[in-house]
């Protein structure tokens, strides 16, 4: 009985051995790695290096395309499993991962006043963007010296995981921050363009156009110049302080001096006024390129102004005769000059000399009396012909003392001062005529 049991056991053992070796021949148990993306099974690979190679390859390929260092947005993992008959398919895993994977990168967010504006690839580039923005309004001219420029708002840079397409190029980021929009409408000045024509064709007022282009210094445009057609609304406030050296003119004053050597209505510039020149250094503050204040730091006078000197005459009585005539009165003074405007297109044809009624009037030169009569304007008047085309006339007399055709000699009393005819007071209206034309009697006298 014991023998039978032992035999049974032996047979069973042999049987098991046989089936076991058969199983061993069919199946070779081993480890595989099951790959998961965000918990989803995407197949198995043979070993860890296959797994890491696939991931590495995917990353490198994508990185080469976008030019950024990337990581997978999903959670990807591999788990070791024991299989009796391990079967793996890395191309299937690769395809399944490629179909599901997406990528992110570590960007640097520029945050202004707690508002994230955009992301830059590196911290250094983000700093460069801010640097360029704060230097944007600095004048590049020899008379400007930068004192300081800074972004007045609180600005932070911090790393943030973002999609690669969210990363901005430095130049585009600077434009965006300064313009306040992604695309700027610009206009390239063509030959013959003016602010007027551009304003009309782009339907933007000249005021807006100037506001959109603060650097425009004059209305004259240069061909090829690029104008903004939209007023910028910068995302930051850039405060710039500069010292500006400007040359300014100093106005001259005018002084008048008086001389008896000219007739009272004559004046002449004896010294031309010349403006002075000063160099003024201003400290100017700008907000986004627009001046918000200035103060003069120091002034250096480069040249003083030259005072303009006017010499004005005072003479109302001749000092001497300089020609063929004597002065027709021995007393009085000039009350109105030859040529003064008398209204209705008329100018004064002689010289008025104020003197008391009855004052003797002398013939200015010898000659023949050609008129001695009363007229509605002249009142009592006498005209003497001196020959050579010259004649003299004496008007408003109270009495006439000569007759037509009478020869009178120079200095002879011919009439007396009065206020007859169109006159408002005692005076002599004295005319000199040359070939029938009234000329200025004072040209024959020195003031
Ligand atoms: Zn007169």
Structure letter (DSSP) for residue 320: E
Cα–Cα distances in angstroms (integers) from residue 17 to residues 7, 9, 11, 20, 420, in the given order? 15, 12, 10, 5, 168
How far is ligand 1, taken at its centre, from the CA of residue 429, in Å? 4
pLDDT in tens, 169-198: 999 999 999 988 877 788 899 888 888 888
Who's near 87: CB < 8 A, 6+ residues apart?
Answer: 32, 44
> What is the fold, at CATH topology level, of the domain defined by 244-311?
Resuscitation-promoting factor rpfb fold (2.20.230)
Give the Å distance between the CA of 352 and the centre of ligand 1: 5
In this predicted structure, what is the pLDDT of residue 87?
87
Q: How far is the CA of 397 from the centre of ligand 1 (A)?
A: 12
C-alpha of residue 384 to centroid of ligand 1, in Å: 17
Beta strands 351-354 and 427-434 are antiparallel
* Ligand 1 centroid, distance to 423 Cα (angstroms): 8
Q: What is the pLDDT of residue 26?
A: 63
Segment 14-29, tens digit of pLDDT: 555 555 555 555 668 8
Residues of the chain with pLDDT under 70: 1-27
Q: Tell me how far the alpha carbon of residue 382 lies from the centroid of ligand 1, in angstroms.
A: 14
Cα of 136 from ligand 1 centre, angstroms: 74
Distance 405 CA to ligand 1 centre (A): 25
Ligand 1 centroid to Cα of residue 404, in Å, is 22
CB atoms within 10 A of CB 373: 12
* Calpha distance 239→148 (Å, rounded): 8
Beta-sheet pairing, 413-416 with 360-362: antiparallel
Measure 422 CA to ligand 1 centroid, in angstroms: 9
Separation of 259 CA from ligand 1 center, angstroms?
25
Cα of 12 from ligand 1 centre, angstroms: 165
Which tokens go with 331? 């007393």
CA of 172 to the centre of ligand 1 (A): 84
pLDDT at 12: 58
CATH architecture of the domain formed by 109-228: Roll (3.10)
3-state SS of 355-385? CCCCCEEECCCCEEEEEEEEECCCEEEEEEE
Contacts for 446 with CB less than 8 Å, ≥ 6 apart: 318, 319, 320, 321, 322
How many whole angstroms from 380 Cα to the centroid of ligand 1? 13
Structure tokens that stand for 198 in this block: 């551009």
Whose tokens are 């994230």? That residue is: 116
Token pair recorded at residue 199: 């304003």
Only one residue has tokens 């009393």, namely 413
Q: Ligand 1 mean position to 350 CA, how many Å?
A: 5
CA angle 356, 403, 335 (to 5 degrees): 25
**Cα of 353 from ligand 1 centre, angstroms:** 8
Let me know if domain 316-446 sits in CATH 2.70.70.10.
yes
Distance 388 CA to ligand 1 centre (A): 24
Cβ density class 338-349: b for 16+ within 10 Å, e for less: bbeeeeeeeebb
Distance of CA 110 to the CA centre of its chain: 31
Domain edges within the chain = 30-101, 109-228, 244-311, 316-446
Residues 6 or more apart whose CB falls under 8 angstroms from that of 199 comprise: 205, 206, 209
Residue 102: CB atoms within 10 A of its CB come to 11
**Beta-carbon contacts of residue 323 (< 8 Å; ≥ 6 apart):** 443, 444, 445
The reported pLDDT for the residue numbered 1 is 47
C-alpha 399 – ligand 1 centre gap (Å): 17
Cα Rg for the chain, rounded, in angstroms? 55
What is the Å distance from ligand 1's center to 312 Cα? Answer: 23
């Amino acid at each position: 009985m014991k023998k039978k049991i032992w035999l049974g056991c032996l047979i069973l053992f042999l049987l098991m051995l046989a089936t076991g070796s058969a199983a061993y021949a069919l199946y070779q148990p081993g480890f595989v790695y099951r790959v998961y993306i965000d918990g989803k099974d995407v197949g198995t690979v043979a070993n860890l290096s296959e797994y890491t190679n696939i991931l590495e390859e995917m990353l490198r390929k994508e990185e080469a395309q976008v030019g950024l260092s990337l990581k997978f947005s999903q959670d990807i993992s591999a788990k070791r499993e024991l299989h009796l008959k391990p079967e793996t398919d890395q191309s299937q895993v690769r395809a399944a991962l490629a179909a599901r994977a997406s990528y992110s990168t570590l960007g640097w967010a520029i945050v202004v006043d707690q508002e994230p504006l955009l992301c830059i690839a590196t911290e250094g580039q983000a700093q460069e963007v801010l640097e360029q923005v704060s230097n944007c309004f600095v004048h590049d001219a020899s008379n400007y010296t930068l004192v300081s420029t800074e972004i007045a708002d609180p600005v932070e840079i911090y790393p943030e995981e973002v999609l690669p397409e969210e990363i901005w190029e430095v130049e585009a980021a600077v434009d965006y921050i300064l313009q306040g929009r992604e695309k700027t409408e610009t206009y390239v000045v063509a030959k013959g363009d003016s602010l007027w024509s551009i304003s009309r064709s782009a339907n933007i007022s000249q005021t807006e156009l100037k506001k959109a282009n603060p650097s425009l210094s004059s209305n004259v445009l240069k061909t090829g110049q690029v104008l903004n057609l939209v007023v910028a609304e910068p995302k930051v406030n850039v405060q710039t302080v500069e010292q500006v050296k400007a040359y300014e003119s100093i106005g001259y004053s005018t002084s008048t001096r008086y001389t008896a050597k000219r007739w009272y209505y004559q004046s002449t510039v004896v010294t031309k006024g010349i403006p002075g020149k000063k160099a003024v250094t201003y400290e100017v503050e700008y907000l986004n390129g627009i001046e918000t204040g200035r103060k003069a730091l120091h002034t250096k006078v480069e040249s003083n102004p030259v005072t303009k000197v006017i010499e004005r005459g005072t003479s109302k009585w001749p000092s001497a005769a300089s020609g063929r005539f004597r002065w027709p009165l021995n007393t009085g003074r000039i009350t109105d000059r030859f040529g003064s405007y008398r209204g209705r297109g008329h100018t004064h044809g002689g010289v008025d000399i104020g003197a008391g009624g009855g004052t003797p009037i002398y013939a200015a030169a010898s000659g023949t009396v050609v008129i001695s009569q009363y007229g509605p304007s002249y009142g009592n008047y006498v005209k003497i012909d001196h020959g050579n085309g010259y004649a003299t006339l004496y008007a408003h007399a109270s009495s006439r003392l000569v007759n037509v055709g009478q020869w009178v000699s120079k200095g002879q009393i011919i009439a007396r001062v009065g206020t007859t005819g169109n006159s408002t007071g005692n005076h002599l209206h004295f005319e000199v005529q040359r070939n029938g034309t009234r000329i200025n009697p004072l040209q024959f006298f020195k003031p």
